[in-house]
Amino acid sequence: MNWSPIDFEADLNKDQYAAVTAKDGPALVLAGAGSGKTRTLTYRVAWLLLEKNISPNQLLLLTFTNKAAKEMIERVQSLTGLGQTPRWSGTFHSIGGRLLRQYGSLIGLSQSYTIMDQSDSEGLMTAVIKDSDKAFLKNKDHPKAKVIQNLLSYARNTRQPFVDLLRERYPWHENISAQINGFVKLYDTAKREQQVVDYDDLLVLWLRLLQEFQDVQAACQEHFPYILVDEYQDTNIIQAEIIDLIGAHHNIMAVGDDAQCIYTWRGALFENIRSFPERHPGTSIYKILTNYRSIPPILKLANNVLAMQPGDSGYPKELVAERKGNMRPYVVPLIDTRQQAQFLVSRIEALYEEGIPLSNIAILYRAHYQALDAQLEFTRRGIPFIITSGLRFFEQAHVKDFVAQLRVLSNPDDSPAFERLLCLLPKVGPATVKKVRMAADKVLKKQLDGHESAHGDLFDKAHPRDPDFFTALAADEVSNKIPVDARDDFKSMVATFLEVRPLLQGKEALSPNQAVEQMLEGWYGDYIRNVYPDWENREEDLQSIISFASRFETMAELLAQLVLMNSETSDKHIEPDDEAVRMTTIHQAKGLEFPVVFLISCADEWLPLKRAIEEGDVDEERRLFYVAVTRAMNELYLSFPMMHATRGGGVQRMMPSRFLSEIPSEHYEKLSYGSRW
């Protein structure tokens, strides 16, 4: 054995060392949360280079982000002191792109092919649809190109027939499913003719080369006798098959954690990591279970979460704490989401006084709408926070769009809101909005002809108290100002206003939450389904406004608060490095760690989500819960509301998450808000 600058046995714990020095052959490394997965993989590369004398060009290192690959290679360079490091390292897509440059001519792809980004792909899909049927995208009931493109991507990455998936997810498009499938075929033809590929092609065509050309497969097998795969639990069916074909020699080390497989919604296949030993006979399984992140009580709770999963749902494992500490997690039942927000502020202020920086504190949640009250309360109390998984609630486009509708419903004179709303329609800009407003004014003048002296300057524009404004919008001479492509959408929008506006008047007028519910059931509810691929998440966000609206007696009060909150959350830009509390979804928190974690809204139908319960995806929700609790280093708080306002003005009793209910009481301390802080 050659001299090595690294003392592998001294640098690694027993489990890590066993995996790093594994003999040739297939190896599955199950690296638990906080156990040093990246360290293990980095040292494995160094071991192969220094101890096995493997050429850097013979290693294939596959990751899920280029950043991860770069960091690993930099660590290898620092460890080994070698100038040469694996040249074939990067994401599956980047490696696929390089190999397509080399072998793509076999399937009619030139070396100078172009890779389209998401915007380019959507543009090409739009173009082929318009070339095939100019009227298709003009119909408000038809899905937009972005929705079709997103569904196609999922179908390809999960290898499901596109038409079957379309009928399953969008059953209301059954009558046009054959036509949409025709667009998909035209899209593929256009890509070939233009010598362009989209992101998914980098995998699909790579696999095709391996399957159809034995010499390509043999060349890859010879060139990459050693393959290392990071985050193996996140691979989809195509990525797993690529690895299986290239790694026919079985010198594959797959590193991951089945308990952290939380991306099946975007194509990850949980079965890949479960079936790895079957696909690669003789697989050695290494478990790295020493956790360097969390104190023992937090890990006891996390281990219990895993222990309660069905027997065939994953590899048995139990994390072992390296750190010391005896502070048990807290379970905090609260009256509602407003009291939950008050609790967060109270405890965070106390933590800050204890010397814990705000940047060491994270608030995690399953879905964006669950953090609405927390954001409002933090804004009111002046506690800085950063949404690391997107925009603040009221800064999201679909929320701002919907609030604009409520503003116009209450006050048609609200020109900024009216303009924002109409500009959602295709080919409608400020100039068109002005023409529409002027045309509506003319219709109103005709309706009020003979009463000018009574109305004075109200002829200059539609008056907010004049219910005839929406009737005027419905007139042909007004709708004709809208481009043909957007006319159906415009008429549907106006129809919603005509339906809801009269219900706001009189003794039996709709309450604010009822008005919000009515508006959601109208035009915009249909709009988001055909415009946004993630319409279900956005619909849940908007549904949460119904509950929020139930706190107000009038629409004027509701709108005043909505506008105030939107302006308040937008008035200060906080940089990522600033001293501020981190707010993020659980998905976006994976791979991160925080000294203090608040996992909020741990109620059934929120975590797990109601949608997941209905669709039978509770196992993945459990893994999400596990990922969330294992982000915490020193303190963990699990809170849930006991009541929640529902559609129609009622109140729903919320039950604690089934994942919480399964945890023995000795693993946590129950906290009654107000009794201690």
Binding site, by residue number, is: 31-38
DSSP string, 102-154: HHGGGGT--TT-EE--HHHHHHHHHHHHHHH-TTGGGSTTSPPHHHHHHHHHH
Whole-number Cα distances in Å, 124 to 118, 144, 229: 10, 12, 33
Across the chain, which distance is largest between two alpha carbons, in Å? 104
SS3 9: helix
- DSSP character at residue 605: B
Q: Token pair of 177, please? A: 């499913």
Other beta carbons within 10 Å of 343: 23
Closest to 39 in 3D by CA, of 62, 66, 8, 65: 8
DSSP string, 335-377: SSHHHHHHHHHHHHHHHHHTT--GGGEEEEESSGGGGHHHHHH
Q: Token pair of 594, please? A: 């925080």
Give first-to-last CA distance, the chain, whole Å.
61
- DSSP character at residue 607: T
Residues 292, 295, 301: CA angle, nearest 5 degrees? 110
Cα-Cα-Cα-Cα dihedral of 219, 224, 230, 233, to 10°? 50
**Whole-angstrom distance, CA of residue 612 vs CA of residue 618:** 6
Pairing outcome for strands 594-599 and 361-365:
parallel
- DSSP character at residue 254: E
Binding residues for ATP: 31-38
